Amino acid sequence: MANTDAPFRLVLFEPVDEPHPVRDLIVKVTGDHPTDVMLWVARAPVVWPRGLTAEQSQAILDGLYELEIAAEARHVDTLPVLGPPRTIHDAACLEHGLRVAGLRKEPTHWVPWEKVELVCAGIIQTEPEQISSVEPPNLKTALVNSVNLLRGRRAPEPRRDRAEAVPKDSVRELLIVRKDPRLTLRVVETGMTYAYLGSRLKLNAAENFPTFLGDILRLAKTSYVTRSTELILAGTDLDEASFPSTQALMEYAMMQLLWSWYRNDRDRMTRTLTDDDDR
């Protein structure tokens, strides 16, 4: 349960090039240990895990504004909860929305395009599999082992050679965040049927995934599209679109959703001020 006396969370939206002034500002306001604050600032964009009072939040935001760092304080109850995501295997991009089917082709979800709030794709870098090679026994060893078995003795374990890292292929994943009610759908590139593509269906997932993603972006016109998604479609700067795990992609998606809200609020305030000046 959130501390009702300190219900706000500080959100930094961009990496901090000069972390020391930010650290000093937060330490001065909160009294937290400088090392803890510095470690947190180094992770930006990030959400400060500790609760802040309204007065603390305002003091920090005023200082960050002077430092020209994009940030906001959100009430803990307004922070988005995206997980756990629901992995889907059968979906169709139709004119008015995304239709998701279950294992027996029964409809399980219907997401109107205007309800799609965020589209976030990433490349999940799988860890290499550690495989130890086994040296085959020579003829003499094989004969000795056979005699030992006949005498009821257990054969020695084969000598293992050095472990070798066998690389695995990375896989693209897609998170589709729906609003009202909030729901996160997860698509794994190699786990989809793509049957709805019909005549556009290719022989492998590597070709079908970009087509599916392109359909979503074309139809979900009001959604916020993350930079990682744009990079994957463009096929450029793929290191920036890579993540060590699905959890890391989820955390990135949450920060991107917060950024989209912050940007919309900022643009709305700018329009309001502009309208006031015109009157």
Q: How confident is the model at residue 7 (pLDDT cuts 50, 70, 90)?
A: very high
Integer Cα distance of 143 and 123 in angstroms: 51
Token look-up 């965040």 returns 177
How high is the mean pLDDT of the chain? Answer: 87
Which range among 37-51, 89-103, 150-164, 192-206 shows the weakest confidence by mean pLDDT? 150-164
Q: What percent of the chain has pLDDT over 70?
A: 81
Place of tokens 């003499």: 140
The tens digit of pLDDT for each residue in 119-159 reads 999 999 976 555 554 455 455 555 555 555 555 555 555 55
Other CB atoms within a 10 A radius of the CB of residue 275 amount to: 9
Distance from the Cα of residue 224 to its chain's centroid: 14
Token pair for residue 14?
A: 């961009």
Decide the pairing of beta strands 86-88 and 183-188: parallel
In whole angstroms, what is the distance from residue 28 CA to residue 102 CA? 54
Alpha carbons 120 and 223: distance in angstroms, whole number: 10
- HSE-CB at 123 with a 13 A cutoff on CA atoms is 20
Q: Which residue has the higher pLDDT, 136 or 11?
A: 11
Element housing 11 (H / E):
strand 8-12
Query: pLDDT-based confidence at 174, cuts 50/70/90?
Result: very high
**pLDDT value at position 146?**
54
- 3-state class (DSSP) for residue 157: coil
User: Could you give the CA distance from residue 73 to residue 11 in angstroms, rounded to a whole number?
Assistant: 6
pLDDT at 166 exceeding the cut of 50: no
pTM for the whole thing?
Answer: 0.81
pLDDT band at 266 (very low <50, low <70, confident <90, very high): confident
Contact 243, 122 (CB under 8 A): yes
For residues 165 and 50, the model is more confident at: 50
